């Protein structure tokens, strides 16, 4: 079992109203901070604003650039990885077909003019079917990853080993890791390729937007009013699991209809016993060693009753200072 981070802090979006520096200071982190901006893809090196915000003490791990280098150096790994991603996309597409049918069934049952004593068990059965589809999807994703890891053993490939050795050295200089947002699938893919979780140790982790999603237990894509599509929330894959039992919902101001009690309640019931937490701008919540909840500021919890209420962690203890030395 790998060591648990000293603290994991999830934050609201940082682009327009950054609060990361204040939160880092509150946790007590000093020294350099490793930053992961792979979700920005080709723009991952454009981190000047983030670096300045953190007092120019950042070390960009450049995971996206490193992955490109690995694939160029190891064509066999690149081709196998491409096929894996194609398989993942096809599976996601078929999962979405089943998901949309299950959600339509719930909506139609809820709208039928029948006795509540008849409707309630039907809704419960439909919800169970929906949850089973999500679990089936996660199991299929895990199977695809396992097949890939068994067939090519990426951590044993020379190109990957070379990059991981450099990453271990860079992270070893730092007292914390900050994971930015962007394209969540790309970010999660790069985190997995280099097995970045192994380097965290007891360092504090700060993550926001797609970064917060990627380190949670399950990554859920959502948008109640998307530019295209039906707006059905869908599970993408398992995350790193640094904060178990939490579904992260960034930017609820833009992506969620929090006044729609039916939609809010459905989200909360669907992913229970996990807690659905929405992170608007300037919000944050912290966990000690990945499981003991600490303080929360501005975070909203979605309830089965269809409400978005201030999140109150089950335990209220002072946020501990991060170790000053290297983990």
Domain boundary among 125, 156, 187: 156
Q: Which residues contact 240 (CB under 8 A, 6 or more apart)?
A: 188, 191, 197, 214, 215, 216
| Pair 99, 190 in one domain | no
Domain boundary among 122, 156, 190: 156
| Pair 42, 108 in one domain | no
| Pair 118, 66 in one domain | no
pTM: 0.91
Instruction: Give the residue ranges of the chain where pLDDT is below 70.
Output: 1-5, 228-230, 289-294, 315-327
Asked if the structure places residue 111 within a domain, the reply is yes
Asked if the structure places residue 287 within a domain, the reply is yes
Q: What is the pLDDT of residue 327?
A: 30
| Pair 191, 300 in one domain | yes
Q: What is the pLDDT of residue 226?
A: 76
d(CA 167, CA 169) in angstroms, rounded, equals 5
| Pair 142, 208 in one domain | no
Q: Domain limits at 201? A: 1-74+173-327
Domain boundary among 156, 189, 215: 156
H helix intervals, 215-316? 252-255, 261-271
Asked if residues 203 and 176 have their Cβ atoms less than 8 Å apart, the reply is: yes
| Pair 196, 310 in one domain | yes
User: Beta partners for 204?
Assistant: 176
Asked if residues 232 and 102 have their Cβ atoms less than 8 Å apart, the reply is: no
Q: What is the pLDDT of residue 293?
A: 64
| Pair 53, 195 in one domain | yes
Report the CATH number that the domain containing residue 233 is assigned in CATH. 3.40.50.880
CA torsion sign for 63, 69, 73, 75 is: positive
Torsion of Cα atoms, 257 then 262 then 263 then 264, to 10° = 80
- Closest C-alpha to 284, from 207, 215, 219: 207
H helix intervals, the chain? 20-27, 48-53, 63-73, 75-111, 116-152, 158-172, 184-193, 197-200, 210-214, 252-255, 261-271
CA torsion sign for 310, 314, 319, 324 is: negative
Q: What is the pLDDT of residue 321?
A: 39
d(CA 30, CA 48) in angstroms, rounded, equals 19
| 236 three-class SS | strand
Asked if the structure places residue 187 within a domain, the reply is yes
Q: What is the pLDDT of residue 35?
A: 98
CA angle in degrees (0–180, nearest 5) for 100-215-58: 135
| Pair 126, 241 in one domain | no
| 197 three-class SS | helix
| Pair 64, 92 in one domain | no
Q: How many domains does the chain have?
A: 2
């Amino acid at each position: 079992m790998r060591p648990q981070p000293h603290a994991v802090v999830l934050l609201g979006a940082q682009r327009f109203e950054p609060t990361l520096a204040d939160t880092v200071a509150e946790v007590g982190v000093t020294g350099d901070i490793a930053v992961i901006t792979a979700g920005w893809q080709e723009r991952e090196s454009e981190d000047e604003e983030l670096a300045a915000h953190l007092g120019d003490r950042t070390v960009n791990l450049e995971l996206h650039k490193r992955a490109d280098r690995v694939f160029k150096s190891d064509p066999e790994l690149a081709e196998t990885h491409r096929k894996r991603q194609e398989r993942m996309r096809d599976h996601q597409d078929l999962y979405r077909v089943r998901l949309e049918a299950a959600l339509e069934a719930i909506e139609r049952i809820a709208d039928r003019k029948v006795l509540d004593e008849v409707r309630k068990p039907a809704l419960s059965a439909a919800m169970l079917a929906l949850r089973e589809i999500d679990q089936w999807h996660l199991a299929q994703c895990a199977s695809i990853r396992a097949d890939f890891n068994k067939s090519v053993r990426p951590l044993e490939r020379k190109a990957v080993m070379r990059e991981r050795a450099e990453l271990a050295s860079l992270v070893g200089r730092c007292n914390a890791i900050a994971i930015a947002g962007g394209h969540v699938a790309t970010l999660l893919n790069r985190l997995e390729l280099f097995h970045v979780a192994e380097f965290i140790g007891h360092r504090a982790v700060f993550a926001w937007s797609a970064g917060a999603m990627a380190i949670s237990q399950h990554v859920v894509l959502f948008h109640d009013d998307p530019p295209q599509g039906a707006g059905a929330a869908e599970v993408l894959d398992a995350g790193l699991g640094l904060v178990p039992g939490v579904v992260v919902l960034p930017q609820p101001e833009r992506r969620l209809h929090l006044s729609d009690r039916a939609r809010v309640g459905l989200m909360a019931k669907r992913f229970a016993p996990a807690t659905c937490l929405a992170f608007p701008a300037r919000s944050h919540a912290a966990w000690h060693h990945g499981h003991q909840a600490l303080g929360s500021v501005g975070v909203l919890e979605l309830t089965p009753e269809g409400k978005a209420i201030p999140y109150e962690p089950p335990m209220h203890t002072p946020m501990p200072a991060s170790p000053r030395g290297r983990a």
